Amino acid sequence: MLRQTFESEIGESYVKAVLPNGLKIYLLEKPQYTSAYAIFGTKYGSIDTCFSVDGEKICVPEGIAHFLEHKLFESEEGDAFTRYAETGGYANAFTSFDRTCYLFSCSDRFYDNLAILLDFVQSPYFTQQTVLKEQGIIGQEIRMYDDSPAWRVMFNMLSCMYQNHPVKIDIAGTVDSIAQIDADLLYKCYNTFYHPSNMFICIAGNIDIDKTLKQIKDSIKESSPIEIERGEFDEPYEITESYTEQALEVAQPMFCFGYKEKIEAEERTVKERIRTALLLEVIAGDSSPLYERLIKQGLINDEFSFEYFTGNGYAAVIFDGESIDPKAVAEEIKKEITAIKEKGIDKKLFSVVKRGLYGDAVRRFNNVEGIAMQLVDCAMNDSGLFDEIKYLKSATAENVYNRLLLLDNNNTVLSVINPKEK
């Protein structure tokens, strides 16, 4: 087992270990804390609908990664939630575009809870009868999200932004697509993407690192190596539509305004993501002139936010929130970006923003859940836990300005959810 320890200038350290079968393990010990947070995950999400294994090309129904997440909690003896109820652990799971994670948090009996996690994630049990039952449950979930304004405003935007990339498809799939799922397909996807070489374990909190590593090493099942070739995404730079709207039950209009970026590599690097985070704070953060203007004009409220939405084959800068006039908000954002391109980044504002993000990065080490989620990002991006602090320190207004040049006012989508007329 390869084992490394990484230390930082802020007094934190963590261990990264890699088992011979390729499983990556990230552990950060917090002996002064009473709780622990553990995640067992795989690099497998909703966009992985086409892939090749040992030369065989396979395409599966949309939503199967999410379906598999639901089914993995079940076994012939019962379900994992019942076992966690006996140990006092809180368990959950989630599927996103590029990952599936199973997790628990606890303040007692950590190693008993870890044993449950290591067991059920490695013990798939699928039958056609249980699959049929789950199709009905997830079908209801899909219909519920079809009526969710926050969900629809996002996916309506992605549908207009992306022509071919599966990121535009709902993570849970559609009622029609999940109807095509059977037990054999679930086993095929499980045996492909739940191989230790494609998985990771991330834990933070009151643990003993040596004891935890031994328990994981002794519990991980041996697997024969496989070669996974993921699908390539032939996604053009251009959007399909610049505006979309839908009427749902909302008190006032909701919006999602996104800038589609051109992808030349598979994913943005950590350095690029940090610089983009700084850029977004400069453009529309609480200290920015744009934010102050929009608040004074009553165009946004405290629901306004922004993010850098990026992964394998996709990248977009997104602003969202509530507004009496979403089109006016979009135009103000465009104007601000044009002005910053012409005048440059205000050095005083940049300094304020940089100090704020650095403080946020340091404070996140006070929360075991936040640390564990950051460790997941490390596993996904093959990066270091302290890279964010390192790149924040080295960022300058000039190199952040270079990220601004990728935002094209002619390649945007505005998605709006309007209140239904009474």
**Residues 365-383: tens digit of each pLDDT:** 999 999 999 999 999 999 9
Our count of domains for the chain comes to 2
Tell me what pLDDT residue 55 has.
80
On whether both 180 and 271 belong to a single domain, the answer is: no
Q: Are 354 and 395 in contact (CB under 8 A)?
A: yes
Query: Model confidence over 5-47: pLDDT tens digits?
Result: 999 999 999 999 999 999 999 999 999 999 999 999 999 999 9
Give me the numbers of helices (H) and strands (E) for the chain, helices first please: 15, 17
On whether both 192 and 258 belong to a single domain, the answer is: no
Whole-prediction pTM: 0.94
Tell me what pLDDT residue 125 has.
94
Catalytic annotation present for 9: no
Continuous segment of H or E residues that includes residue 306: strand 305-311
Q: Is residue 79 part of a domain?
A: yes
Q: Among the three residues 174, 209, 230, which one is the final residue of a domain in this structure?
A: 230
Catalytic entry in 29, 69, 272, 322: 69
Q: Is residue 235 part of a domain?
A: no
Tell me what pLDDT residue 151 has.
95
Q: Among the three residues 230, 254, 285, which one is the final residue of a domain in this structure?
A: 230
Q: What percent of the chain has pLDDT over 90?
A: 89
Asked whether residue 265 carries a pLDDT value surpassing 70, the answer given is no
Query: Could you tell me the end-to-end alpha-carbon distance of the chain, in angstroms, rounded to an integer?
Result: 64
Query: Model confidence over 211-227: pLDDT tens digits?
Result: 999 999 999 988 777 78
Query: Model confidence over 164-215: pLDDT tens digits?
Result: 999 999 999 999 999 999 999 999 999 999 999 999 999 999 999 999 999 9
Asked whether residue 267 carries a pLDDT value surpassing 90, the answer given is no
On whether both 389 and 290 belong to a single domain, the answer is: yes
**Enclosing domain of residue 399:** 243-419
On whether both 275 and 331 belong to a single domain, the answer is: yes
On whether both 214 and 349 belong to a single domain, the answer is: no
Q: Are 267 and 233 in contact (CB under 8 A)?
A: no
Q: Among the three residues 164, 199, 230, which one is the final residue of a domain in this structure?
A: 230
CATH number of the domain residue 35 falls in: 3.30.830.10
Asked whether residue 315 carries a pLDDT value surpassing 90, the answer given is yes
On whether both 275 and 198 belong to a single domain, the answer is: no
Tell me what pLDDT residue 54 has.
79
On whether both 279 and 145 belong to a single domain, the answer is: no
C-alpha–C-alpha distance, residues 254 and 272, integer Å = 29
Tell me what pLDDT residue 175 has.
94
On whether both 23 and 70 belong to a single domain, the answer is: yes
| Mean pLDDT of all residues belonging to the chain | 94
In Å, what is the CA distance from 110 to each residue of 18, 104, 117, 205?
Answer: 22, 9, 11, 10
On whether both 259 and 361 belong to a single domain, the answer is: yes
Tell me what pLDDT residue 392 has.
95
On whether both 401 and 255 belong to a single domain, the answer is: yes
C-alpha–C-alpha distance, residues 38 and 192, integer Å = 23
On whether both 89 and 221 belong to a single domain, the answer is: yes
Amino acid letter, 157: M
Work out whether the CA dihedral 305, 336, 295, 275 comes out positive or negative: positive
Asked whether residue 334 carries a pLDDT value surpassing 80, the answer given is yes
Q: Is residue 237 part of a domain?
A: no
On whether both 13 and 137 belong to a single domain, the answer is: yes
